[in-house]
Amino acid sequence: MKKIFSAITGGLCLGLLTLIATWLMMGSCANIIPPGGGLRDTLPPRLVLANPKDSSVNVKPTFITLTFNEFVSAQDVPQNLIVNPSMEIAPLVDYKLRNVTIKIKDTLRNNTTYTFQFGESIRDVNENNIARNFTYTFSTGKNLDSLGYRGKVILAENGKIDSTLIVVLHKNLTDTAIFKLKPPYYTKLNGKGEFSFRFLPRDTFQVFVVKSVFSKKYEDSTQSFAFLPYPIIPGNAKIDTLYAYNALEPVAKPLSVAATKPGAAAKDDKRLRYTTNLESGRQDLLQPLQLRFQKKISLLDSSGIVLCDTLFKPIKGVVISTDTAGKIISLNYTAKENQAFRLIIAKDAITDSSGATILKGDTLKFSTKKEEDYASVRLRFANLDLSKKPVLLLYQSDKLIGSFPLSSTEWRKPLFYPGNFEMRILYDANGNGIWDPGQYPGNKKLPEVVYLISKELSLRANWDNEVLVQL
């Protein structure tokens, strides 16, 4: 019996020792991995309590507490918070732990629905998740206004979006309201140029678009502005589109010129200097040869400017002209591809407004480009309204490359510049070939509209490019 007990005891001890040895070996070889931290929080803060409650009626609070389900912050409140109707004294917004507080310093109006739209201001502390467009509402009367109004704002001149503009609503229906009065209601545009008002009363409003978030007035005619030519009553399902324009172009500030002492530089100024539009000694087949000057030309003797072939035989049919600013001299003539020329400019043929002249005759050697340097293009337009006098506008980096009135749904150019182009269609109401802004007040003329074509035009050199353009 003792032998059996000893055998059993010995077996248990041996098994226990083997288990301990195995555990020690595993512990010495394995890496220790700390437990994971779980999934990242991607949810925005959520309102769990408000005092007064959200959408309360018959209340006139001076202090509002908004409690969320996690610790929050309120960032860039002045840039984000929109209060409608607007208050003369801006409310004070603060935050601590899970609470955002609003201290109202203005006198609230009777029977009025107030909304506080925080934009992207309220965020959780840990992951910076945004409670996007969080809105708190209450009414000082027995009813909560619930009407809405939606629309979109497009820049009339180029068909693009400027999300820095704001839309304002005026109860005052006089033409001067947008110049003199702050509007009771306003909102911002989203990235698509869309806007939306909520909790509006059943009333009649004028609709405007302005640039200034501070004054919300139309104070600068060089800034974007738009108006709806008719008043609106909220609640209509119609979505309005407003076209913003600049009535006047901004005036460029003159460059400051440092004072210089007379000397060698002043002597050099007596020589008239100019540049050309030649590219590495080659002339564009689609443009006239140009001489460009820094100052206005005061005297031009066209007989002293002669375009010749390589044997110095004058070219017939050359027309010399200057631009409206008097700083560019153009030579218009018919030229073939890869044709060599000589341009002779006689002494004293040109004098600028400072009295500078060409002190001795110049001769320019150049040749025209080859046709293979250009692209052939044919565009076919779908849904083009020819009754609205469409004009095709082609841009590169916001620089107008060409403007072409369209008399049919097909446009063809055997020679055109290769590259990538932005296409726009101007509906030219008065047929003058250029975009015209609107006018307000007065006859309240709406601006001409330019539609931006989303598809880019890509043209290859020495290639027949055929493209279907969908409007």
> pLDDT tens, 137-156?
999 999 999 999 999 999 99
Peptide bond into 52 cis (omega under 30): yes
pLDDT at residue 3 is higher than 80? no
Looking at domain 374-470, its CATH superfamily turns out to be Immunoglobulins (2.60.40.10)
CA nearest neighbour of 276 among 345, 196, 348, 179: 345
Closest C-alpha among 175, 263, 260, 179 to residue 221 = 179
Enumerate the domain spans of the chain: 47-139, 147-244, 264-371, 374-470
Three-point CA angle 174, 155, 381, nearest 5°? 130
pLDDT for the residue 39: 73
pLDDT at residue number 13: 44
Asked if the domains at 47-139 and 264-371 fall in one CATH topology, the answer is yes
User: Which CATH number is 47-139 given?
Assistant: 2.60.40.1220
Which of the residue ranges 12-21, 267-276, 295-304, 387-396 would you say has the lowest mean pLDDT? 12-21
Above 50 in pLDDT, residue 426? yes
Nearest Cα neighbor of 74 from 117, 138, 106 is 117
pLDDT tens digits for range 223-234? 999 999 999 999
| pLDDT reading at 25 higher than 80 | no
Architecture of domain 147-244: Sandwich (2.60)
Task: Report the pLDDT value the prediction gives residue 359, as an integer from 0 to 100.
Answer: 82
- pLDDT band for position 263 (50/70/90)? very low
Listed ranges 25-29, 65-69, 218-222, 441-445; the one with the highest mean pLDDT: 65-69
Q: Which of 465, 381, 377 is nearest to 427 (CA)?
A: 381
Query: Mean pLDDT in the chain?
Result: 89
**pLDDT value of residue 269:** 59
Whether 345 contacts 368, CB under 8 Å: no
CA-nearest of 242, 212, 215, 219 to 229 is 242
For the chain, give the percent of residues with pLDDT over 90.
Answer: 81
How high is the pLDDT of residue 271? 82
Phi, psi of 252 (to 5 degrees): -70, 135
- Across residues 155-162, what is the average pLDDT? 96
Task: Please provide the distance, in angstroms rounded to a whole number, between the alpha carbons at the two ends of the chain.
Answer: 103
Q: How confident is the model at residue 15 (pLDDT cuts 50, 70, 90)?
A: low
> Could you read off the pLDDT of 190-209 as tens digits, one per residue?
999 999 999 999 999 999 99
Question: Given a cut of 60, is residue 252 above it in pLDDT?
Answer: no
Q: For residue 102, which phi and psi values (nearest 5 degrees)?
A: -125, 120
Q: How far apart are CA 469 and CA 386, in angstroms?
A: 15
Residue positions counted in the chain: 471
Fold of 264-371: Immunoglobulin-like (2.60.40)
Q: For residue 36, is pLDDT > 90? A: no
User: Could you count the other beta carbons within 10 Å of the beta carbon of residue 253?
Assistant: 6
pLDDT given for residue 253 in this prediction: 55
Q: What is the mean pLDDT of residues 381-410?
A: 95
pLDDT value at 23 more than 60: no
199: left (phi over 0), alpha (psi -120 to 50) or beta: left
Binning pLDDT at 50, 70 and 90, where does residue 17 land? Answer: very low
Beta strands 239-244 and 147-155: pairing type? parallel
Quick one: CA torsion of 224, 228, 231, 235, rounded to 10 degrees? Answer: -100
Q: How many CB atoms lie within 10 A of CB 70?
A: 17
pLDDT of residue 9 exceeding 50, the answer is no
Q: What secondary structure letter does DSSP report for 279?
A: B
| 441: preceding bond cis by omega (within 30 degrees) | yes
